[in-house]
A and B are shown apart, each in its own frame.
Chain A
Amino acid sequence: MTPCKTTQESILDWLIGSQQEPLAAPAQAHLEGCACCRRYRDGLLHQGSELADLSQAVDITATAAQAKAQSACLALSQTLRRSESPFRSAARSPRFLRLAVAAVLLLLVGLIFVHSRVRFSSVSFARMQRAVNQVPWLHIVLKGDHPRYMDLREVWAGFDVGALAAKRTEGSIEFVDLQLGREYQYAPKQGYIQVEDVRLERFVYDLSSPLAFLQSVLHNFKAEGARLSHGSAQYQGRVVNVMTATYAYPHGTCQLELIIDPETHLLCAGKETWASPGRQERTTEIEVYYPDQGPMSIYDLGVPAMARVHGGKPFSFFIPKETQKGDQE
């Protein structure tokens, strides 16, 4: 390698490395006597200086662009935090793994349930697990298509107070007070309340307990010609009993499925499926709640306080007491 070439290599290394250190002594010595290498050194220093100047112009654009990028990132970060905060906070929680496992299990159970084409509304198992005798009220809400002759919307059964109430689609309301032996019926079209003394009638539903009530419901279905069957299914991660009543109605058949908790024998949920030839199948979902309080009179169900009271005939909740013996057999 020529002395010039060696020196220029040293100059390049010096330039890119630490320029605070002096150039190597042999190169320094060569530079003093070589105009070509001095020109090379000065040219590189000038080039470096120009590049530094050029970088300042680039810096100006970079600084402005950086501010924009930071704003964009901040906005995205806030959006992410808003949209994902439950998951993010859960992920940071030590309980995340357990929750995730529980979620996966519930999902699997849900998939099994959907796959078996049975969907029911949710119900609190904690409340359902209370002792049967401690359940004061049962509240059933029916959601979905209702054939005209089966127009129940809501039902309350008060086991401690011996009361049964029902709301129907066209606003008619019924309330039975077994302690007083009175049945009240209200229809908005009529605008008055029919009251009947039912002390000499037998109530077809047993309100002594939730289990007795359920049994009486199924018993009445059977008495009306329904075919009863039972089985088991997965519901909300546990095996439950399913009571099925299949019966005819004027335009086809209806299948009522009731989900029963196997431990408490409490009704959890249900579903009615209405099928008639040439028509689309309709379903009614049955949601079940166990509130601490319920309606204590027909007025608690929304009947106007000024509604007039008339005498009337007992509704279908009652049958003459003389048939009681035969039914029980």
Chain B
Amino acid sequence: MDSRSIETLVQKARAGDSVAYSRLVDLFYKRTYLLCLSMVGQVALAEDLAQDVFLNGLLKLGQLKKPASFGAWISTMARRLSLNRLREQKVNVSVDADWPAPESREAEYRDLRDRVQRLPLELRAPLMQYYFDEQDVARVAETLGVSVSSAYSRIRTATQKLYEMYEHED
């Protein structure tokens, strides 16, 4: 969806159109949830955080200066809320991660998940955003609040590191 359409949705939501805000949640939920999940590692906590992000977003929609930047704005809120929650709950992301693996070959996928969790946050977040969403580098950049080249570089490094971990374990 282009920035013009997002701007229109934000303006409608500001005017009290709950359907418009629901559409915004539709568009930005997955990346927000993934961002939270990459930061806190736990599904239930990520769900709570993502929901809080959108509820906060609804309450503070009037403060958004550039409606077209809704995605970046909501991602910033998600990062901040997740960091605060990590500090409050002292979650160890690499140990406590519980996000699901496919039922078939569960053990194998759990290994992959654990390798992803062992990546540092600045690599884990872009990797999950890229591979778990639509493999769009520009979108990853917007979600993480970094330049496209920086996002690309981080995804590249994360992919390489993940492979090296796999090779090293083998």
Report A's interface with B, CB cutoff 8 A: 12-13, 15-16, 40, 43-44, 47-48, 50-62, 65-66, 68-70, 72-74, 76-78, 80-81, 85, 88, 92
Contact A77 B54 (CB under 8 A): no
Chain B CB within 10 Å, residue with most, of A54, A74, A78, A92: A54
Contact A65 B166 (CB under 8 A): no
Contact A57 B163 (CB under 8 A): no
Contact A58 B100 (CB under 8 A): yes
Set of chain B residues within 8 Å of A66, measured between Cβ atoms: 25-26, 29-30, 33, 50
Residue of A nearest to B17 (CB): A77
Interface residues of B in 118-153 (CB under 8 A from A): 127, 130-133, 137, 152
Contact A50 B55 (CB under 8 A): no
* Total A-B pairs, Cβ < 8 A: 121
Set of chain A residues within 8 Å of B160, measured between Cβ atoms: 12
Interface residues of B in 40-84 (CB under 8 A from A): 43, 46-47, 50-51, 54-55, 58-59
Looking at the assembled complex, report how far the CB atom of B98 sits from the nearest CB atom of chain A, in whole angstroms: 10
Set of chain B residues within 8 Å of A70, measured between Cβ atoms: 22, 25-26, 29
Looking at the assembled complex, report how far the CB atom of B108 sits from the nearest CB atom of chain A, in whole angstroms: 8
B1 in contact (CB, < 8 A): no
Looking at the assembled complex, report how far the CB atom of A285 sits from the nearest CB atom of chain B, in whole angstroms: 39
Q: 15 A-B pairs, CB-CB below 8 angstroms? A: A43-B167, A44-B159, A48-B159, A54-B109, A54-B113, A57-B99, A58-B99, A62-B30, A65-B47, A70-B22, A70-B25, A70-B26, A73-B25, A77-B58, A80-B59
Contact B18 A68 (CB under 8 A): no
B interface, over-half SS? helix
CA distance A68 to B22 in the complex (A): 11
Task: Report the count of interface residues on B (CB-CB < 8 A).
Answer: 45
Residue of B nearest to A56 (CB): B102
Contact A62 B34 (CB under 8 A): yes
Set of chain B residues within 8 Å of A78, measured between Cβ atoms: 18
Residue of B nearest to A44 (CB): B163
Chain A CB within 10 Å, residue with most, of B55, B132, B156: B132
Looking at the assembled complex, report how far the CB atom of B77 sits from the nearest CB atom of chain A, in whole angstroms: 13
CA distance A66 to B30 in the complex (A): 8
CA distance A139 to B122 in the complex (A): 76
Set of chain A residues within 8 Å of B15, measured between Cβ atoms: 88, 92
Contact B102 A51 (CB under 8 A): no
Q: Which of A16, A50, A68 contacts B51 (CB 8 A)?
A: A68
Set of chain B residues within 8 Å of A44, measured between Cβ atoms: 159, 163
Set of chain B residues within 8 Å of A68, measured between Cβ atoms: 47, 51
Contact B22 A73 (CB under 8 A): yes
Known: A16-B137, A44-B159, A47-B159. A52 touches B131 (CB 8 A): yes
Looking at the assembled complex, report how far the CB atom of B137 sits from the nearest CB atom of chain A, in whole angstroms: 7
Looking at the assembled complex, report how far the CB atom of B157 sits from the nearest CB atom of chain A, in whole angstroms: 9
Contact B55 A72 (CB under 8 A): yes
Known: A62-B33, A65-B33. A76 touches B102 (CB 8 A): no
Contact B152 A57 (CB under 8 A): no
Contact A50 B156 (CB under 8 A): no
Chain B CB within 10 Å, residue with most, of A13, A16, A40, A44: A16
CA distance A241 to B51 in the complex (A): 59
Looking at the assembled complex, report how far the CB atom of A123 sits from the nearest CB atom of chain B, in whole angstroms: 36
Looking at the assembled complex, report how far the CB atom of A19 sits from the nearest CB atom of chain B, in whole angstroms: 9
Known: A12-B159, A16-B159, A77-B21. A57 touches B59 (CB 8 A): no
Taking A44-B163, A59-B30, A65-B33 as known contacts, 20 extra A-B pairs with beta carbons closer than 8 A to each other, sorted by chain A number, are A16-B130, A16-B156, A48-B131, A48-B159, A50-B109, A51-B132, A56-B102, A57-B99, A58-B99, A61-B43, A61-B100, A65-B46, A66-B26, A68-B47, A69-B25, A69-B50, A69-B51, A73-B25, A76-B55, A88-B16
Set of chain B residues within 8 Å of A92, measured between Cβ atoms: 15
B37 in contact (CB, < 8 A): yes
The 7 closest A-B pairs by CB, nearest first: A77-B18, A55-B132, A51-B131, A65-B47, A69-B51, A66-B29, A57-B100
CA distance A47 to B113 in the complex (A): 11
Set of chain B residues within 8 Å of A61, measured between Cβ atoms: 43, 47, 99-100
Set of chain B residues within 8 Å of A56, measured between Cβ atoms: 102
CA distance A231 to B158 in the complex (A): 82
